[in-house]
Structure 1
């Protein structure tokens, strides 16, 4: 999106049941489980690789000359076509995730991406290159729809939030590999300068095709398909060393069953209309769609896809220097994103979102000023300061909008609408990206630094929206989080799962749990 041990703040329901001596580094089955989760996490690296590779290829004269120096709208299409391919797959991805399961949907997406990157590497024309990138986007949508949900649904409870946050953070792992691959292939004086980076884009998918067979399927998906015995075995094997009578496993299993059963009986319609049919779901979708747009419309799309254009505008035109800055920036981003992932359960979601938005506003405003000063006066110091503020801006962005957007989205969506709601999130990101990738180079060509003012105003709006609408979900299970959005219906579900009963004669642990949860919320 490697995080160390996380302080076991746990969740209200699980923290009292988790063995404090069972850590990710001293329990063989947790080590194995986290290895399989790492295989899922690298799905995000494929997307990160693509963005950074396209940034690097634009600095390669071998690529630019081969495709006749694309500029403006044509360059925008070359970048945007991958997300146009994603749009084509969105109507189908959630049905595959819920129908054939998380694992096989990831497998299908990985196979498509391997085929697509082979075509991209062998491209003989710009049309062939564009077609291959469309197919890459189509395939990655299936894998990216299922992978983070599977991470969330199989993770050990005390590591769920940081691991899911790490998913999107590993976008930068792909970026780093792509940035330094293009830097290393720069001196190859033929088309292999860009064909080698194109071929390496398939590497995460190759690993997934080879190893996905060993990854456990989601217990929630298994229960939804009536395969409860298999779901219990998965939970017991990985969360309690095979002990199906472990209190944690029994609690997880009963909570999952109760949540899915309630949704079957109370929510008859779990189609697309269900995303807006209830007030709680409308609240979820408002937040999800907003943070999806914010993650791409915060000015980050400028440096992510057109860093070489920005560097050209401030008279840093040496391709070696451009590639070097791109490579260092990706390492910087990964470090900050992983650091933030490790603090998700300590600082909470709301605080990280606010710190990120305010920091982006300050540093992007500073970028705008530096760009304006350099454009009007041509001062070298303004150009150097602009580069520094790009790095600081990304440090702020990576506090929340890299690690949290996926983790927060999947944890506030209840199981029956999780695949569809997450699909809307990904769809929104693709729409926002297509706008960025197609419009940004045209705007930079025509109005230069003044285009930055648009993003300054937009980030200010983001700060206000996040302050009023983002709710804290720190320390809650996936089922408990529903209480915040759905109120009494979700409380009944949670009470049923925990076995809460009105009993004046006996004070039960379940009652204590309910009281703790109500106070926390």
Structure 2
């Protein structure tokens, strides 16, 4: 594995940064406020995923749920945790074709509809089979919605805010985590099966909102241009990015750049179909990075706490269900804080810096967590147990610097439009595979060798750090098309920058200095 060149992003920023009106802020422009409201509707798709991922973790500490389903353990518990991801695997073959064929919005609506049906079945579950079936359908619907939502976020965002908004997508996983853990914490005092049925019902809030509202959101201009609907795409870009002015320099730049990139993809026969993902050196490098960070996001030791916090806490003598639920709830808030904070620094600090810092911190704190867990196993001291909890929180702060906010945003931005849905589908598929492995292996390994299992993750985290150092390419301050071209060599990058660009820097300067130009009209 050789180290790749690190792009500075200087050339890319010169492409469009000078066209952005500095007086046009999202909080002072009505159309940008509306655009961001639609983007929030898309971002909360990740909340559904976070809610579902945390729900069963909380249920395992809930006596009424344990009693109703006869204390599931071992392989039975592993199946319960894995079935949602098995449902996702079943949905992945359909997801990119819905996103690319019907559009981003229809794919989200179909996924939300399936999830609403599944939530109703889960909340009304009368037996194990009904609960398992509902979990499968949730995964199936989520795979469709979560394939399209982040693509639409990154493709309709105002250029100045694209990177932090796309990074917020996966960061908001923890908002669903918070609702799931704290609603379960509150419902534990209900002396009936409603203690777990109410949190199950709450899982329908996000898909319900998307089911009702998604058709009012804008469709992706890139999707529309790819389908020959250029006038509609230009209208959407102009409406949200320049208050309806289709001749605005920034809008024209975006429009022409998207057209040039899609036209270039159409002229290259290798950019068609699934084989295109590995047809060129640039695409192969993309896929290596995408698959790697997908597995890293689940195989960094975080899967132990995300799905088996009860077992981790049991191993250090914390067995009270209320305390376990409380730690889970506080950890969710902690994670959301760090992930959102990192999202707003992706353009300032850069992706490469955040990935390397995140991997370094995870390795350091997981080693400390392993040592303290060993000390507790040998001496049974409260100090060692408390230290384990402290290092779990520090580990997650490091994890959240990159492997929460960047794994989705970095994946979608390094893929060209023609590969974006299929490549992101491979990313989601890889995550599901890694989660299924964790959900079957982690409980068995924890039961048999306890803290010694952590040593495996210490070695793996060292490999992750080396991979990030040698393979991650910096992409800050680049447009989507320029970022995608970064992997394909200088010639491809020049073609994207030059083809179809009728907007020149000098023209913009002349317009800006003329008497007819008034930035306040665009604010």
TM-score band by shorter chain is over 0.9
Give CA-to-partner distance per residue, 1:135-161, whole Å, 9 cap, x none.
Answer: 100000000000000000000000000
Q: What is residue 492 of structure 1 aligned with on the other side? A: 495
234, 237, 240: which one aligns with 1:235: 237
Is contact 1:10–1:158 with CA below 8 Å preserved after alignment?
Answer: no
Cα deviation 1:339-396 (Å, max 9, x = unaligned): 0000000000000000000000001111111111101211110000000000000000
Q: In 2, Cα distance between the equivalents of 1:465 and 1:498?
A: 37
SS at match of 2:26: coil
Q: CA offset at residue 500 of structure 1?
A: 9.5
Please state how far the C-alpha of 1:314 moved relative to its aligned partner.
1.2
Quote the Cα distance in structure 2 between the aligned partners of 1:509 and 1:358. Answer: 46
Shift of 1:490: 3.3
Give yes or no for the alignment of 1:207 onto 2:220.
no
Which of these residues, 266, 283, 287, is aligned with residue 264 of structure 1? 266
Q: Contact 2:482–2:496 (CA<8 Å) still a contact in 1?
A: no
For 2:357, the equivalent position in structure 1 comes to: 355
**After superposition, what is the alpha-carbon deviation per residue over 1:74-101, rounded to whole angstroms, capped at 9, x for unaligned?**
1111111100100011111000000000
CA displacement 1:186-212 (0-9 Å, x = unmatched):
011111111111111111000101110
Q: CA separation in 1, counterparts of 2:485 and 2:121?
A: 48
Residue of structure 1 equivalent to 2:47: 45
Which residue of structure 2 aligns with residue 163 of structure 1? 165
Residue aligning to 1:5 = none
Structure 2 residue 193 is the aligned partner of structure 1 residue 191? yes
Aligned length: 497
Whole-angstrom distance in 1 between the partners of 2:405 and 2:280:
28
The residue number in structure 2 matching 1:6 is none
Partner of 1:339: 341
The answer to whether the aligner puts 1:475 opposite 2:481 as a matched pair is: no
TM-aligned CA deviation for residue 492 of structure 1 = 1.6
Equivalent-residue separation in structure 1 for 2:278 and 2:210 (angstroms):
35
- Report what 2:404 is aligned to: 402
SS in 2 for 1:498: coil
* Greater mean alpha carbon deviation, residues 229-238 or residues 316-325: 316-325
Could you tell me how far 1:498 is from its partner in structure 2? 2.9
Q: 1:500 to 1:217 in 2, by over 3 A?
A: closer
Change (3 A) 1:449 1:234: same
Query: What is the match of residue 7 of structure 2?
Result: none
1:519 aligned partner: none
Question: Aligned ranges for residues 118-517 of structure 1 at < 5 Å?
Answer: 118-267=120-269, 269-487=271-489, 488-499=491-502
* Offset of residue 11 of structure 1: 3.2
Higher alpha-carbon deviation: 484-493 or 399-408? 484-493
Paired with 1:356 and 1:268, the residues of 2 have a C-alpha distance of 36
1:104 matched to 2:106? The reply is: yes
Query: Is the 8 Å Cα contact of residues 271 and 419 (structure 2) preserved in structure 1?
Result: no
Unaligned runs of 5+ in 1: 1-8, 502-506, 511-521
The answer to whether the Cα contact below 8 Å between 2:271 and 2:418 also exists between their aligned partners in 1 is no
Cα drift, residue 508 of structure 1? 6.1
Counterpart-to-counterpart distance in 1, 2:496 and 2:312? 53
Cα deviation digits, residues 260-311 of structure 1 (max 9, x gap): 0111112354100000001110010011000000000000000001111111
Residues 148 and 406, structure 1, Cα contact 8 Å, conserved in 2? yes
CA distance in 1, matches of 2:507, 2:66: 67
> Partners in 1 of 2:12 and 2:327 — Cα distance?
39
DSSP-derived class of the 2:297 partner = helix
Distance 1:114 1:500 in 2: 46
Paired residues of 1:298 and 1:455 also in contact (CA < 8 A): yes
Q: Give the equivalent residue in structure 1 for 2:513.
A: none
Cα deviation, 1:37-83, whole Å, max 9, x if unaligned, reads 00000000011001211111000010001111011111111111100
CA contact (8 A) 1:44 1:168 kept: yes
Assess if the C-alpha contact under 8 Å between 1:12 and 1:477 holds in 2: no
Task: Identify the residue that residue 514 of structure 1 maps to in structure 2.
Answer: none
Alpha carbons 1:41, 1:147 under 8 Å: kept: yes
User: RMSD of the alignment, in Å?
Assistant: 1.5
The answer to whether the 8 A contact 1:259-1:497 is kept is no
The separation in 2 between residues aligned to 1:493 and 1:351, in whole angstroms, is: 27
Show the counterpart of 2:31. Answer: 29
CA–CA distance in structure 2, aligned partners of residues 148 and 274 of structure 1: 22
Please say if residues 87 and 427 of structure 1, whose CA atoms lie closer than 8 Å, have aligned partners that are also in contact. Answer: yes
Name the CA distance, whole Å, in 1 between partners of 2:461 and 2:21.
Answer: 43
Provide the C-alpha distance between the structure 1 equivalents of 2:419 and 2:234, rounded to a whole number of angstroms: 22
Matches of 1:296 and 1:491, distance apart in 2: 37
The aligned counterpart of 1:515 is none
Between the aligned partners of 1:477 and 1:509, the Cα distance in structure 2 is 20
Q: Please tell me whether the aligned partners of residues 256 and 502 of structure 2 are also in contact (alpha carbons under 8 angstroms).
A: no
